[in-house]
Amino acid sequence: SPPTIVYPLRTSFVIGAPITIQPVVENVEGTTNYNLYYYNGTALSASSDGRWLPNGLAFDRTTGQITGTPTAG
């Protein structure tokens, strides 16, 4: 089976409240670098740095975690 990574379907972001979103990872062997895929309104796009995440959040390519403290703006 191909590797899969799944995040919770809905995650609330509260400005000023730290958050860690730990994915569920299956069928991964060895070292992996993850990309985030998102729908940009017309097509599926990939991001290795999570640049489309809310301000203050970061994506870790080696663990798949999304962490940080959301900020306004």
Q: CA 6, CA 11: separation in Å to the nearest integer? A: 12
pLDDT values of the chain reduced to their tens digit, one per residue, 73 residues: 556 677 776 677 889 999 988 887 776 676 667 777 777 778 777 777 777 888 899 988 888 888 999 998 7
Q: Rounded to two decimals, what is the model's pTM?
A: 0.70
Q: CA 66, CA 49: separation in Å to the nearest integer? A: 10
The number of angstroms, rounded, from the C-alpha of 73 to the middle of its chain's C-alpha atoms is 19
**Residue of 62, 60, 65 whose CA lies nearest to 21:** 65
